[in-house]
Amino acid sequence: MPETNKSPVSTERRDAIAVIRIDNPPVNPLGLAVREGLVREFATASADAGIKAIVLTGTGKAFSAGADITEFSTGRHAPFLFDVINTAIEGATKPVVAAINGLALGGGFELALGCHYRVASSAVKQLGLPEVKIGIIPGAGGTQRLPRLIGVEAALDIIVSGAPIDAAKALALGAVDTVVEGDVVTAAVAFANDLIARGQGPRRTCDRVVDVSALPPDLFDKKRASLARHPSGPLAARACVDAVEASTKLSFADGMKRERELIQECLPSPYAKALQYAFFAERQAGSIPGIGSTTKIRDVITVGVLGAGTMGTGISLAFLQGGFPVTIVEMKQDALDKGMARIRETIDSNVKRGRITPEQGAAIAANVTPSLDMASFATADLVIEAVFESMAIKKEVFGKLDQICKPGAILASNTSTLDVDEIAAATKRPQDVLGLHFFSPANIMRLLEIVRGKATADDALATAMSLSKRIGKVGAVSGVCFGFIGNRMLENYGEEVQAMLLEGATPADVDKALEGWGWAMGPLAVMDLVGIDVGWRIRKEHKFSDERMRLYRVTDAIADQGRYGQKTGAGYYKYVDRKRVEDPAVTAMFRAEAAKQGIEPRNGIPAEEIVERTLLRLINSGAEILDEGIALRSSDIDTVYINGYGFQAWRGGPMWQADAMGLVKVAERIKFYEKKYGERWRIAPLIEKLAASDGTFAALDKAKAKAAA
């Protein structure tokens, strides 16, 4: 038989024990061939009179990572996992022991729960049911078996959060029978032999009764009430609660039926589709055409950061937490001391909150070296500049870095708007220069825009990509333009918000509409948080269209008054006990300016229009960015928005929304607004092209990938 036709499930006999093994690299997903293999091997073992017990395990690092997600789109065929588990595994008449050798997630964990006994390796870090994170619920009995095994409240937490637990926690909760050091299969075989010796048969979780005696009566209602802003969107987390509740009210068989109904509701929902798309988009962002596994990654062991302000300290923390030694250089002692104090405070607070151990905290703190001398960067493999946003200053420091840094060191700028090519030209090694655009707070926000200059070498870019992973960030490549992918689009979104404020929407109307639709935070609350002065300064330095300057007139007047937002106690809102409160004075300023500009006041703007106009502006600008080659793929744009701008993953991202709406409709609506508002709504040629050819952004991405391959 050719190697490719080999079944991913096989049996090895150890005396009276059949060891059934899944071998489906890399993480033993439970695709059709595995499910068929499980049915076959369990049937054979069950029929073999010489076999007294069965051990089920996985090959490599995983027991099983669960369903094969690609089957969600290609279609699934029988035998289905829930059936395999119910009938072949839990229904087996010989005792079945799971030997959990590595991660068991989703369907993989459900498979383990279907076994009669569980032995786990102490090295296992991830056991759990993360289905909610892709917009669905566990669908192979997880919601019915876990409450029977570990109690309703613990099961509810695990299923609704989707967060994994480690082997020790699983043992404490009763999800596994024992945790062992060393070879888990050997231990499970011994466990099985012991069962045989003691005459113990199958112990089926489905036969257990859910203990409801001590449940708070409002447990489920309270949980449902806490889900308003769950990252899975409006459906999946609620369905998880409903399914677990069913386990307390229905028989096992009826509970399984209810679980199926609920997953069938979730699967076709736009939220599940968006979450699954976002999951793949994020992985896709890491692949860059022309850069493959043969591209050399430069060694990066030590990191230098220039500037100990807001971003410099955050960036230092991100690398320190990633295990890198960091040298941080400032101009003045005072600024350096303040930056170092901020770094220490964050480390201390992480220790206090139990995120890291005191020993880890001490090791991280010992890894940072403060300095006032850029010569300290002489041995650094990577230097990231985070000084003031001024081209003159950036050019000066890059000139100096060029003199100081060793050959091959990567020189990066954290600029949020400036031309990386111009910065690179201040050095004699533009091939080593790129942008690393972090988001504030840089130690927390996941997005890292990696800005590829004209001259940036492939290996420098590949190194930056690999570094983003090493510090737990999602890297997305952007070409050079004002604001790169994220901020350039945001400028258009923000401009439309200003227009609506002049037309009669209040800041609260806008924020409520957009937060209600799914944004983590409304745009005006965001500006109050970041500081209205940031954009105000940029508008003073850069040349924008007259229209944009006109639309921002009130906002700039607010900043002129020193109302920068939360940091000054007032901005678009007033802040009372850190809570935002509407300010009639701000509304009055917009009304007065509107009258001056001859804008007819409307009696508020409906939420749907607020959502549509902001979304369409993002889409239109995203299409331009894609057409210009600033973004490699539309899915990269969505990854940027989800990880850096608070666009909820269950909404898929602006470009995904465009495809969902249909490009014909998108084009029609943009043209509608173009007629009404003119220039700022000029439709992107790519949208017209796609609309005319029945295209989608997703299809365009695919075609480009094919052409590059």
- CB-CB contact of 217 with 126 (8 Å): no
Q: How far apart are CA 703 and CA 166, in angstroms?
A: 41
Stretch that binds ligand NAI, among 139-147, 294-302, 303-311, 363-371 (CB under 6 A): 303-311
What track of x and - describes contact with ligand NAI for positions 90 through 129 (by CB under 6 A)? Answer: ----------------------------------------
- CB-CB contact of 427 with 407 (8 Å): no
Question: Residue 434 pairs with which residues in a beta bridge?
Answer: 412
- Give whichever of 393 and 692 is closer to ligand NAI, judged by the CB atom: 393
Name the burial class of residue 659, with classes exposed (0-12), middle (13-18) and buried (19+) by CB atoms within 10 angstroms of its CB: buried
For the chain, the farthest-separated pair of C-alpha atoms sits apart, in whole angstroms, at 92
435 binds ligand NAI (CB under 6 A): no
What track of x and - describes contact with ligand NAI for positions 412 through 431 (by CB under 6 A)? Answer: --xxx---------------
The edge-to-edge listing of strands for the beta sheet with 103-105 is 62-64, 103-105, 127-128
- CB-CB contact of 171 with 178 (8 Å): yes
From 131, 385, 491, 495, the catalytic residue:
131
| List of residues 6+ apart from 307 with CB closer than 8 A | 329, 330, 385, 386, 387, 388
One of 387, 551, 611, 631 touching ligand NAI (CB under 6 A)? 387
* Three-state SS at 423: helix
- Give whichever of 98 and 559 is closer to ligand NAI, judged by the CB atom: 559
311 binds ligand NAI (CB under 6 A): yes
> CA separation (Å) from 39 to 34, 87, 257?
9, 9, 21
At closest approach, how far in Å is the CB of 537 from ligand NAI?
A: 10
Q: How far apart are CA 91 and CA 153, in angstroms?
A: 27
242 binds ligand NAI (CB under 6 A): no
- Give whichever of 372 and 703 is closer to ligand NAI, judged by the CB atom: 372
Q: How far apart are CA 186 and CA 194, in angstroms?
A: 12
One of 114, 141, 307, 494 touching ligand NAI (CB under 6 A)? 307
One of 335, 455, 529, 557 touching ligand NAI (CB under 6 A)? 335
One of 87, 193, 248, 440 touching ligand NAI (CB under 6 A)? 440
Question: Residue 326 pairs with which residues in a beta bridge?
Answer: 303, 368
At closest approach, how far in Å is the CB of 394 from ligand NAI?
A: 7
For residue 477, give both structure tokens.
């490549």
- CB-CB contact of 2 with 80 (8 Å): no
Q: How far apart are CA 19 and CA 27, in angstroms?
A: 18
445 binds ligand NAI (CB under 6 A): no
389 binds ligand NAI (CB under 6 A): yes
At closest approach, how far in Å is the CB of 348 from ligand NAI?
A: 21
User: Count of residues for the chain?
Assistant: 709
Stretch that binds ligand NAI, among 110-118, 411-419, 521-529, 668-676 (CB under 6 A): 411-419
**Annotation marks residue 3 as catalytic:** no
For residue 58, give both structure tokens.
């996985």
- Give whichever of 375 and 393 is closer to ligand NAI, judged by the CB atom: 393
Name the burial class of residue 604, with classes exposed (0-12), middle (13-18) and buried (19+) by CB atoms within 10 angstroms of its CB: middle
**Annotation marks residue 131 as catalytic:** yes
386 binds ligand NAI (CB under 6 A): yes
- Give whichever of 202 and 644 is closer to ligand NAI, judged by the CB atom: 644
478 binds ligand NAI (CB under 6 A): no
Q: How far apart are CA 145 and CA 141, in angstroms?
A: 6
304 binds ligand NAI (CB under 6 A): no
Q: DSSP string spanning 163-177?
A: --B-HHHHHHHTSSS
One of 43, 172, 301, 331 touching ligand NAI (CB under 6 A)? 331
308 binds ligand NAI (CB under 6 A): yes
> Token pair 């420098």 is at which residue?
460
One of 107, 312, 475, 518 touching ligand NAI (CB under 6 A)? 312
For residue 21, give both structure tokens.
């093994």
212 binds ligand NAI (CB under 6 A): no
- Give whichever of 331 and 595 is closer to ligand NAI, judged by the CB atom: 331
309 binds ligand NAI (CB under 6 A): yes
Cis peptide, bond prior to residue 79, ω within 30 of zero:
yes
For residue 186, give both structure tokens.
């050997």
At closest approach, how far in Å is the CB of 520 from ligand NAI?
A: 16
At closest approach, how far in Å is the CB of 138 from ligand NAI?
A: 39
Stretch that binds ligand NAI, among 7-15, 271-279, 323-331, 595-603 (CB under 6 A): 323-331
Among all residues, whose Cβ is closest to ligand NAI? 309
The residues binding ligand NAI (CB under 6 A) are 306-312, 329-331, 335, 386-389, 393, 397, 414-416, 437-440
User: Hey, which residues are catalytic here?
Assistant: 110, 131
